[in-house]
Amino acid sequence: MTRLLRRPTLDESNRVFTAVVIGWGGIVGSGVSILFSGAILAAAVRLYRRDIAFPADRDALAIGAAFALFFLSEALSGAVNYEGWPTLREVLSNLPFLGFLLIYARLSLSSRQGIVQAVEFGAVTGAFGAFAWVLVEIFVQDSPRAEGAAGNPGVLALISALLYGLCLLTATRRSDRLRWVALLAAICAAAALLLTGMRALWPMLVVAPFIPLAVLRPKIDAKALRRGVLVAALPAALAVFLTYGVVETRIGGLAADFDRIERGDYDSSIGKRLTMWDAGLDLATAKPVFGHGPAVSSDENPDRIGFSHLHNFLLNAMVRAGIVGVAAVLALFIVPLWVAARRGGDDISRFGVAMLLTLHAAFLMSGLVGIMLGHDILDALFIFGTVVASFLVLGRRTAHGRNVPSKLN
């Protein structure tokens, strides 16, 4: 009984936390961001008590600095364009970006192998869970588009796209039975993505398979390939059957949108984006250096934009924080990739690089014509996803650059 009631070790907590935050956004919704924010506070307390050590690796510090720069860019723009509580609220919502190194320090108590397994478990279970939720939404509740626990089809689409890519990474890396389970999970994630109706992320279905092939470089075994086709054939056919109606409707809607735009009618999905981008360009050129402040798209200013974001991450950053903001948001992608390209080495490191590329591909596709950051679930997923991928690449190293055993208590 005492053993059953024992307190979990930090390593065990890290693994469960990793699986939930990476994989279960479509199931627990904003619970992911609550867990992540709580983990930052807990890590700060442990750092104060010297239970964990602040990262000393220069590359980890560089990535942490890039995330801090994003927070500072919006805070600076907010100070220049201060509008009271709306500005403070937007700036405070970015506080998790300051927690990168704290979470990295906490994760460093675990082994990289353990964290890889947690990512795989979270992705596979999360894909099955999100697909089950989506089936109930579409075919029982008769919802036009799937939203999951995220409560937003765009957010669920991004989560599903990431899970799809991670499940493919798992299927490629594994040589045991989990390979085939991960392949089925990838099909479920793909179906969930299609049922959200978010066309901007559908190209991920084509792009994601090339990432493990390019980075992990698996040996192509003809027998295993045939078996994979046989395992996936029936589930894939079922997924096509279940998603056909939504896909057909959304593709037909795309053609209809362009027809309406040609007639001068912009009251459509694409037309509204064109209207937003036109207004955003005017705002961006009016204040190009520090932008209009993070409160420009708040609920208190409906006449200035009318939307919570401009459906393009670069334009959104330009309007909110000017050139400084654009540089900061680009650094969130450039710095981790630069570090990963320099430090990737063993099999786990390559998995980390592939995970980072998958994360970036999903977020960039979403950010081109939709939401990328500025949503609590997506912020938590992007920050923690980068933490995990960076840890898998860098590990916990001594001053001599060697991996050291993890502290598990």
pLDDT of residue 205 exceeding 90: yes
pLDDT above 90 coverage of the chain, percent: 63
pLDDT of 402 reads 43
- 314, pLDDT greater than 90: yes
Given this model, what pLDDT does residue 217 score? 81
Average pLDDT, stretch 320-348?
A: 92
Q: What is the pTM of this model?
A: 0.92
Q: Is the pLDDT reported for residue 196 higher than 80?
A: yes
pLDDT tens-digit series, residues 43-73: 999 999 988 889 989 999 999 999 999 999 9
Task: Tell me the angle at which helices 153-173 and 376-394 cross, rounded to the nearest 10 degrees.
Answer: 20
Phi/psi at 403 (nearest 5 deg)? Answer: -65, 140
pLDDT of 3 over the 70 cut: no
Mean pLDDT in residue range 295-302: 63
C-alpha distances (whole Å) from 124 to each of 14, 135, 170 are 18, 17, 8
What is the structure's pLDDT at 165? 97
Rg (CA), the chain: 22
Per-residue pLDDT at 224 exceeds 60:
yes
- C-alpha 362, offset from chain centre: 7
Does 201 score more than 60 pLDDT?
yes
Give the model's pLDDT for residue 193: 97
The answer to whether 134 and 195 have CB atoms below 8 angstroms apart is yes
Instruction: Give the Cα separation of 85 and 204 in Å (integer).
Output: 38
Structure tokens at 17: 């936390």
- When pLDDT is averaged across residues 254-267 and rounded to a whole number, the result is 82
Q: Quote the pLDDT of residue 409.
A: 35
Write the pLDDT tens digit of every residue in 82-115: 999 999 999 999 999 999 999 999 999 999 999 9
Q: Is the pLDDT of residue 164 over 80?
A: yes
Residue 376 or residue 233, greater confidence: 376
Instruction: Please answer whether residues 388 and 18 qualify as being in contact, where contact means their C-beta atoms are separated by less than 8 angstroms.
Output: yes
Give me the amino acid identity at 179: R
With a cut of 90, say whether residue 403 has pLDDT above it.
no
pLDDT classification of 219: cutoffs 50, 70, 90: confident
> What was the pLDDT predicted at 301?
52
Give the pLDDT score at 395: 84
Q: How far apart are CA 170 and CA 128, in angstroms?
A: 14
Q: How many CB atoms lie within 10 A of CB 90?
A: 22
pLDDT surpassing 80 at residue 130: yes
CB 156 within 8 A of CB 141: no
If one compares 226 and 310, the residue with the highest pLDDT of the two is 310
Nearest to 208 by CA among 193, 228, 224: 193
Buried b (16+ CB within 10 A) or exposed e, 127-157: bbbbbebbbebbeeeeeebbbbbbebbbbbb
For 148-152, what is the mean pLDDT? 89
Provide CB contacts within 8 A for 246, sequence distance 6+: 138, 145, 194, 195, 197
Q: If you average pLDDT over every residue of the chain, what do you get?
A: 88
Distance of CA 180 to the CA centre of its chain: 24
Instruction: Find all residues with CB under 8 Å of 131, minimum gap 6, and list them.
Output: 188, 189, 191, 192
Is residue 29's pLDDT more than 80? yes
Q: What's the average model confidence in pLDDT over 26-46? A: 94
Cβ atoms of 312 and 270 within 8 Å: the answer is: no
Which pLDDT does position 304 carry in this prediction?
55
* pLDDT category of residue 307 using cuts at 50, 70 and 90: low
Which DSSP letter does residue 305 get?
T
